[in-house]
């Protein structure tokens, strides 16, 4: 039976360790500060932001939420970002994506001060990641590395395959695995013989946004499978295709939830696997930014 990698267990460890550091800052200088910018009323984004604010409260991090309307212009949003950049009590700025179409997301990202970019997406921080220079790392990939290490799953010398080449997960995930001395392959929509490439992986990371796309033919027996996807099934036919006559659920990942346990040595469930790690690493990045600012 494959080992289930519990992201909540790892999250709780990370938060406990970093809460002590946040408490130390608050008692000697000031609490770490995080500003979250949520544009419009996207339901999924509202849930994400609510969870982030709740985590800040539990960690002793000062937080504030800015909610411009979905009619906001690029220039108006830039004004807000610049004002947050100038405030000493704000250590981290998070602009919740996606932004409305009329907003130039790249300009907003570039406007963040690199040292307050707790998502790790600013080009300066991307460069630091490539060069393996300390700095904020994208939260989801960094959380996955923490999970592998805390479960004592070896990375060095292993073949790692990442399905997906996004700036948020795929590319930084590949770089972090490379820095841990894995041999890394990035696959994507134009990769030939995708199942064959994936079967080479001792560590397989699926981050493509396609429900139950990775089936057992993609998985090397005994491999560690990390499922980054969060997909909602809305049609009964979709659920039957995945689960057959078994009990169904509506939230699944990019990996087939029934087939992975037949082949993998260890895997992350959805929900409860990678998801909890993202907010934990956001808290860690915010506290670390405060430590740099207050040093």
Q: Which CATH architecture has domain 139-276?
A: 3-Layer(aba) Sandwich (3.40)
What is the residue extent of each domain of the chain?
Answer: 30-114, 139-276
**What is the chain's pLDDT, residue by residue, as a tens digit (295 residues)?**
899 999 999 999 999 999 999 999 999 999 999 999 999 888 888 888 999 999 999 999 999 999 999 999 999 999 999 999 999 999 999 999 989 999 999 999 999 999 999 999 999 999 999 999 999 999 999 999 999 999 999 999 999 999 999 999 999 999 999 999 999 999 999 999 999 999 999 999 999 999 999 999 999 999 999 999 998 887 776 777 787 766 667 889 999 999 999 999 999 999 999 999 999 999 999 999 999 999 9
What six digits make up the tokens of 260?
């992975």
Please write down the long-range contacts of 145-148, taking CB distance under 8 Å and 24 or more positions apart: 145/176, 145/177, 145/180, 146/10, 146/14, 146/277, 146/280, 146/281, 147/5, 147/7, 147/10, 147/226, 147/268, 147/274, 147/277, 148/203, 148/224, 148/226
CA 147 – CA 167 distance, rounded (Å): 21
Residues annotated catalytic, as ranges: 52, 96, 119
Hey, do 30-114 and 139-276 end up sharing a CATH topology, with the first three levels equal? Answer: yes
Residue closest to 1 by CA, chosen among 265, 204, 220: 265
Give this prediction's pTM: 0.95
CA 194 – CA 218 distance, rounded (Å): 8
For domain 30-114, give its CATH number from 3.40.50.10860, 3.50.50.60, 3.40.50.970, 3.40.50.10420.
3.40.50.10860
pLDDT in the model for residue 89: 97
């Amino acid at each position: 039976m494959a080992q289930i990698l519990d992201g909540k267990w790892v999250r709780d460890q990370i938060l406990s360790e970093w809460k002590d550091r946040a408490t130390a800052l608050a008692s000697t200088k000031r609490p770490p500060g995080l500003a979250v910018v949520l544009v419009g009323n996207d339901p999924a984004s509202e849930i994400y932001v609510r969870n982030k604010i709740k985590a800040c409260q539990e960690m002793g991090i000062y937080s504030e939420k800015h909610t411009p309307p979905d009619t906001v212009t690029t220039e108006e949003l830039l004004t807000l970002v610049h004002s947050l950049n100038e405030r000493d009590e704000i250590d981290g700025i998070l602009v919740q994506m996606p932004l409305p179409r009329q907003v130039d997301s790249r300009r907003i990202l570039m406007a963040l001060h690199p040292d307050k970019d707790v998502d790790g997406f600013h080009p300066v921080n991307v460069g630091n990641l490539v060069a393996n220079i300390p700095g904020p790392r994208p939260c989801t990939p960094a959380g996955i590395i923490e999970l592998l290490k805390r479960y004592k799953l070896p990375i060095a010398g292993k073949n790692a395959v990442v399905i997906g080449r996004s700036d948020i997960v795929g590319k930084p995930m590949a770089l972090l695995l490379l820095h841990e001395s894995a041999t890394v392959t990035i696959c994507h929509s134009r990769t030939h013989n995708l199942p064959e490439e994936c079967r080479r992986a001792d560590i397989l990371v699926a981050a493509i946004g396609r429900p139950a796309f990775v089936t057992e033919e993609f998985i090397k027996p005994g491999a560690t499978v990390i499922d980054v996807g969060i997909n909602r099934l809305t049609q009964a036919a979709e659920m039957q295709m995945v689960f057959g006559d078994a009990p169904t659920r509506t939230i699944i990942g990019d990996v087939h939830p029934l087939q992975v346990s037949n082949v993998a040595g260890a895997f992350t469930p959805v929900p409860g696997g990678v998801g909890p790690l993202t907010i934990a690493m956001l808290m860690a990045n915010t506290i670390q930014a405060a430590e740099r600012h207050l040093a």
